[in-house]
Amino acid sequence: MIQGERVFDTHTHIGTARHSGRSFTAEEMLRSMDRHGVDRSLLIPFPVVDDYRAQHDLIGAAVRQWPDRFAGAACLYPFVSEQAFAEEVQRCAETFGFRALKLQPMYQALNPVSKRSDFFFAAAQANRMAVVAHTGSGVPFSLPSLYIAAARRFPDVPIVLGHAGGPLLMLECVVAAEVCPNIYIEVSSLMPHHVAELLHQVPASRLMAGSDLPESVETEIGKIFTLAISPEDRRAILWETGARLFGA
Ligand SMILES: [Zn+2]
């Protein structure tokens, strides 16, 4: 807890990343959470890994060992065979209870406008997972507005726009959230005043806080406490929206 508020960090990674060379264990994540007052985290694999099954096993083991601290997400290269993709997402849901399926279009060039991407959203739908899509860097497939098309084809799948498109593309997230009730926004990488601006147009029940990387926790979670917003909105962004989508 921070200042009496429960905190759900809806964007974290453990495992080993090939693209960045970063590595982080569940134990290190727990220590970081304890140090910063984070109650619960959504653990997501890094987008470029040697063995996605091994990364899911690692997160699955952490979710089983600390179910009150962690929720799990699947993330795998989308262009394995559609059958292999569907089977692995199902394994993550049935074996470990994962609640989300991540897409990182900077490294996984899936076009969310095209019906050819339906298999991705259908896998989330079949396993009652939310989709978390990285938005911002990695244009064009990381343009927030492109997820309007997928959100309309899969109205019962919550779609979280990670990083809110960044400051440059944030207004695309506003438009997407306004036209699609199943679109949510995770606000890491925005400046504090951007979050306040978002709140003028998108209800806090559709916004959530996330850190992405351990060195950003203080900045990303701390910025929510700097805003002159209602206690109800603060509680929704810090805890309730994430808990509703990813379980608590
Ligand atoms: Zn990330």
For residue 52, report the phi and psi dihedrals to the nearest 5 degrees.
-65, -30
Whole-number Å distance, alpha carbon 13 to ligand 1 midpoint, is 7
What are the residue ranges of helices labelled H in 97-139? Answer: 118-126
Whole-number Å distance, alpha carbon 125 to ligand 1 midpoint, is 22
Cβ count near 180 (within 10 Å):
18
Q: What is the pLDDT of residue 35?
A: 97
Q: What is the pLDDT of residue 44?
A: 98
Whole-number Å distance, alpha carbon 23 to ligand 1 midpoint, is 13
Over residues 184-208, the pLDDT tens digits come to 999 999 999 999 999 999 999 999 9
User: Which residue do the tokens 């140090």 mark?
Assistant: 35
Whole-number Å distance, alpha carbon 11 to ligand 1 midpoint, is 6
Over residues 3-40, the pLDDT tens digits come to 999 999 999 999 999 999 999 999 999 999 999 999 99
Over residues 129-169, the pLDDT tens digits come to 999 999 999 999 999 999 999 999 999 999 999 999 999 99
Whole-number Å distance, alpha carbon 3 to ligand 1 midpoint, is 26
For residue 100, report the phi and psi dihedrals to the nearest 5 degrees.
-145, 155
Q: What is the pLDDT of residue 196?
A: 96
Whole-number Å distance, alpha carbon 15 to ligand 1 midpoint, is 12
Whole-number Å distance, alpha carbon 42 to ligand 1 midpoint, is 11
Q: At what angle do helices 166-179 and 192-201 cross, to 10 degrees?
A: 20
Which domains occur in the chain, in start order? 8-246 (3.20.20.140)
